[in-house]
Every structure is written in structure tokens, then in C-alpha cells.
Amino acid sequence: MLPVFVVNNFGQFNHLILRMLRDLDIGARMIANSMPPEEVAAGCRGLVLGGGPDLSRAGNAGAYLDLGLPVLGICLGLHIIATRFGGTVSRGRSGGYGPVEVEIVEQDEILKGYPPHITVWASHADEVTGLPGSAVRLAGSSICAYEAIAVPDLHIYGLQWHPEVSHTGNGRLVYENFDRITREYGTS
């Protein structure tokens, strides 16, 4: 079975995404966001777009959304998804990393198994402020309306928070759900 690629967008937690996938016995490999899209399409069954400093350093990550693969975007990965599909990203009001109480408003397959309210670890230096027309809102908080979104028909998901860090309760469930999605809808 092909691995899941973790796209390195220069974020400080991308290595933790790879580690969590491997700890869950999910075949995974870190790639640079400069890898040509055709090589990405041929080499994996799904993508995790990792975090990073800002959209200007996203490389080819936006083009990867056109490959027909399941995608999970984390923090900057969410912003890449939102802007690629016509949404907007703006400077957040709350700034740096910290705990956030999130309300799940739509139980989609990526958030399957979570209770209606969870505590997560997130950065809101930038955040989605306008939802793309093809996307649905999955979760929000008192400081950010779009903590999680999905483009369900394409099996593309984005989270503002970091499920790979220990401060996020049961974060591994997101990656287990994504593994199941890639096995069902990704390239084998």
C-alpha cells in the first residue's frame, strides 16, 4: 500500500505529524512542498498538508489539491485549502499558540468519534475568515468561526488546530480517521 505523504510547509510541528502517523502504524513519508505534483500523485494514497509560517511559503501545496487524493490540512494546510477553493484567510485576533475550546457542529468522517466539545491546541496568527462555497463548516470556537472545514465531495479536510501535539486531547483520532479515508478513497 502506498504511504501517506506529509507535506513539509516549514512548520515546527510537521515532524510530530510524521511521528504520530508512524506511531499509529500508518505508512508515511515527509516530502518537500516543492515536489512536482505528478510525482506526488504517483507516490501516495493521501496527503497531510503540514503547518508553516504563511501562505507565501506553501510551494506546490495548493496544486496538490487538484490531484484527486484525500487531503488533511493542519493550520497553514487549512489556509491553503480555503484559499485554493475561494475562501479567505486573515490575521487572527488571538495570535499565538494556546488551548481552545472547540464545538463540533458537523460530524463528518474526519471528526468521527469526537464528542461535541473538545479542547485543542491551536495557533490563530492567521485563520480562515471566509468559507469557500464548496466547503462546509465542521467546527468553530469563540475566537474563530472556522476551526475545521471540509470539501466533502473531494475528501479534503482542514483543521486550524494541531492534533499531533500532546496538548490536543485524543488528537490521534483525526489521523486514524484520515487513514481510514485514504484507504477507502485514496490511491492504493
Catalytic residue selected from 127, 144, 147, 164: 164
- The answer to whether residues 83 and 62 touch, using CB atoms and an 8 Å cutoff, is yes
Run of H or E including 22: helix 14-23
End-to-end CA distance of the chain: 5
Is 144 among the residues known to form the active site?
A: no
Is 79 among the residues known to form the active site?
A: no
Catalytic residue selected from 144, 147, 162, 176: 162
Catalytic residue selected from 44, 75, 79, 147: 75
Please classify residue 2 by burial: count the beta carbons closer than 10 Å to its beta carbon, then call 0-12 exposed, 13-18 middle and 19+ buried.
Answer: middle
Is 117 among the residues known to form the active site?
A: no
Residues 6+ apart with CB under 8 A from 44: 2, 3, 4, 5, 29, 69, 186, 187
Instruction: Report residue 128: phi and psi, to 5°.
Output: -70, 130
Annotated catalytic residues are 75, 162, 164
